């Protein structure tokens, strides 16, 4: 077969081969098959590196060039014919990268290897699906509470949860992400049975107001600002030096992006967020340029990305992963008799997944497969609620 790898399949083959199904792994290794790659995938890989979703050592361009030399692929150029076909190819969405990839498979008569459900239904080109039981490439966490019961009978549970996209669905306006009563109820029950912390990019005060449970620990601003019961308080010192730069960048971006409909510039204590979910797609490059220029003007800030959001944060070695490790140490939870679990849905949660690689469990909340350091998955917030209820039931059973 002549196989065209999409970006995630290519990445998984390089960095996370366990995410490949046995069939796909065998086909990629078969000497009888030709492996093809589109420049679109090289471009997407550089974007993923730029926003921090893929971590590499050294210069990203040099790293990608070395990868292309080490594992040679046949190149499928984006010709005029491919560009024209991308407008006509039968896909249920208008994502230009997906359309160019599908058109490449069609024009060059290649079999597209993908885990993207949106590309699997087309009959206009051949597809080799990387699919595990319809749930993506990670095992579901829905059965995890019962599987952990023997371990939790002799160990304590330390539960860390993201907010947006994990406890509440992603919404167009951040202030509309209101926690459902049933989710708050199960969090209250869990807090009476184990340690529970909410770790979010939101400001600490905003996070506490939305969750409204005094018995929980809160880590706001990606872990720069932490508070909890019994006087627990920590504001990471390294972030304070960048407060003037954040304020200056806020003033600049608020003025520059004011004429762009659908953009919201939000000043947080230790971050600056540019929300563009409601902006027109053709204005996104303009928004990204403005943020890049603000980053260049303030060398003590670094840009990160998320779901329709760009953020500027202090350029220091502190993130959700460091915050989780700090909490485990500060609260004497860094021991063999503790089972840490982190549940999150976004790029910034990957730092926490990696921080718990050796002794904890990372659970990604995502509808589609993606490159991640997590070891389990849940598809959406309703499955998160089911999972948390399962933990309550198991902890209650252990108590009896």
Dist. CA 41–CA 25, nearest whole Å:
19
The two tokens of residue 287 are 């928004």
Q: What percent of the chain has pLDDT over 90?
A: 51
pLDDT of residue 93: 67
pTM of the model: 0.66
Say which residues have a Cβ less than 8 Å from residue 207's Cβ, sequence separation at least 6.
163, 198, 200, 218, 220
pLDDT tops 80 at residue 299: yes
| pLDDT band for position 117 (cuts 50, 70, 90) | low
Integer angstrom CA distances of residue 352 from 24, 220, 391: 29, 14, 20
Mean pLDDT of 145-163: 93
**Which of 84-98, 123-137, 175-189 is predicted least confidently?**
123-137
Q: What is the pLDDT of residues 180-212, one digit of tens each?
A: 999 999 999 999 999 999 999 899 999 999 999
Would you say residue 6 has pLDDT above 60? yes
Alpha carbon distances (Å) from 326 to 159, 186, 234, 319? 14, 25, 10, 11
Ranges in the chain annotated CATH 3.40.50.1010: 2-129
Fold of 2-129: Rossmann fold (3.40.50)
Task: Based on the residue annotation, tell me whether 109 is a catalytic residue of this protein.
Answer: no
Of 124, 87, 105, the residue nearest 41 (C-alpha)? 105
Tell me the three state secondary structure of residue 83: helix
- Return the number of other C-beta atoms located less than 10 Å from residue 44's C-beta: 19
The Cα–Cα gap between 390 and 400 comes to 16
Where do the CATH 3.40.50.1000 domains begin and end in the chain? 144-236+318-399
**16 pLDDT exceeds 80?**
no
Q: Tell the burial category of 202 from Cβ atoms under 10 Å away from its Cβ (0-12, 13-18, 19+).
A: buried
pLDDT at 303: 86
Is residue 396 scored above 90 in pLDDT? Answer: yes
**376 forms bridges with which residues in the sheet?**
363
**Is 313 within 8 Å of 304 (Cβ atoms)?**
yes
Confidence at residue 223, expressed as pLDDT on a 0 to 100 scale: 92
Better pLDDT: 158 or 357: 158
Alpha carbons 262 and 234: distance in angstroms, whole number: 35
3-state SS string for 327-356: HHHHCCCCCCCEEEEEEECCHHHHHHHHHC
The answer to whether 306 and 196 are in contact (CB under 8 A) is no
Beta partners for 3?
35, 111
pLDDT at 137: 59
On the question of pLDDT at 120 being above 80, the answer is no
Q: Which long-range contacts (CB under 8 A, 24 or more apart) does 173-181 make?
A: 173/264, 173/278, 174/202, 174/264, 174/266, 174/275, 177/210, 178/210, 179/210, 179/211, 179/212
Query: H/E element holding 378?
Result: strand 376-378
The H or E element spanning position 396 is helix 381-399
Tell me how far apart the alpha carbons of residues 222 and 351 are, in angstroms, rounded to a whole number.
10
Q: In what order do the strands lie in the sheet with 74-75?
A: 74-75, 34-37, 2-5, 111-114, 126-129
Nearest to 136 by CA among 156, 121, 117, 111: 117
Segment 15-33 shows an average pLDDT of 85
Q: Is the pLDDT of residue 134 over 60?
A: no
| pLDDT computed for residue 135 by the predictor | 38
CB of 301 closer than 8 Å to CB of 223: no
Mean pLDDT over the full length of the chain: 88
**pLDDT value at residue 187:** 98
Q: 260 falls in which pLDDT band (50, 70, 90)? A: very high
Name the CATH topology of 144-236+318-399. Rossmann fold (3.40.50)
* Distance separating alpha carbons of residues 60 and 56, to the nearest angstrom: 7
Which residue shows structure tokens 């679990």? 341
pLDDT at 156 over 80: yes
Give, to the nearest 10 degrees, the angle between helix 284-297 and helix 243-257.
Answer: 150
d(CA 241, CA 244): 7
Return the residue matching tokens 């991640």.
Answer: 372
Q: What angle do helix axes 60-70 and 39-50 make, rounded to 10 degrees?
A: 140
Average pLDDT over residues 271-293: 91
Q: How does pLDDT run across 332-366, given as a tens digit for each residue?
A: 998 778 999 999 998 889 889 988 877 899 999 99
**DSSP type of residue 17:** G
- What is the arithmetic mean of pLDDT over 300-314? 85
Work out the average pLDDT over 47-67. 77
Q: Which CATH architecture has domain 240-314?
A: 2-Layer Sandwich (3.30)
> What band does 92 get if pLDDT is binned at 50, 70 and 90?
low
Q: Which of 162, 345, 349, 351 is catalytic?
A: 162
Closest CA to 190 of 148, 153, 159, 146: 159
């Amino acid at each position: 077969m002549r196989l065209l790898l999409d970006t995630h399949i290519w990445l998984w083959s390089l960095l996370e081969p366990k995410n490949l199904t046995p069939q796909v792994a065998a086909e990629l290794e078969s000497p009888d098959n030709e492996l093809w790659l589109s420049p679109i995938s090289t471009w997407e890989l550089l974007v993923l590196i730029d926003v921090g979703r893929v971590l590499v050592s050294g210069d990203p361009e040099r790293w990608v060039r070395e990868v292309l030399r080490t594992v040679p692929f046949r190149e499928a150029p984006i010709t005029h014919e491919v560009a024209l076909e991308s407008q006509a190819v039968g896909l249920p969405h208008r994502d230009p990268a997906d359309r160019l990839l599908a058109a490449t498979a069609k024009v060059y008569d290649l079999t597209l290897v993908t885990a993207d459900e949106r590309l699997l239904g087309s009959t206009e080109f051949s597809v080799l699906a990387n699919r595990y039981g319809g749930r993506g490439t990670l095992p579901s966490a829905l059965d995890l509470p019962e599987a952990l019961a023997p371990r939790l009978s002799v160990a304590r549970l330390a539960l860390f949860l993201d907010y947006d996209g994990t406890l509440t669905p992603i919404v167009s306006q951040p202030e509309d992400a209101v926690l459902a009563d049933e989710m708050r109820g199960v969090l209250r029950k869990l807090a009476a049975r184990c340690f529970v912390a909410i770790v979010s990019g939101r400001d600490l005060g905003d996070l506490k107001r939305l969750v409204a449970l005094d018995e929980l620990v809160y880590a706001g601003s990606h872990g720069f600002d932490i508070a909890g019961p019994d006087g627990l308080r920590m504001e990471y010192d390294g972030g304070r030096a960048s407060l003037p730069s954040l304020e200056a960048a806020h003033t600049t971006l608020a003025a520059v992006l004011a004429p762009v409909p659908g953009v919201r510039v939000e000043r947080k204590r230790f971050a600056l967020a540019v929300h563009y979910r409601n902006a027109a797609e053709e204005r996104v490059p303009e928004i990204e340029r403005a943020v890049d220029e603000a980053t260049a003007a303030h060398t003590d800030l670094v840009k990160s990305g998320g779901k329709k959001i760009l953020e500027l944060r202090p350029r220091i070695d502190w993130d959700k992963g460091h915050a989780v490790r700090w909490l485990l140490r500060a609260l004497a939870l860094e021991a063999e008799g503790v089972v840490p679990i982190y549940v999150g849905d976004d790029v910034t949660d990957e730092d926490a997944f990696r921080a718990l690689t050796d002794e904890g469990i990372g659970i990604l909340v995502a509808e589609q497969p993606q490159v991640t350091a997590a070891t389990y998955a849940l598809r959406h917030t309703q499955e998160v609620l089911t999972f948390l209820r399962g933990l309550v039931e198991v902890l209650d059973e252990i108590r009896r």
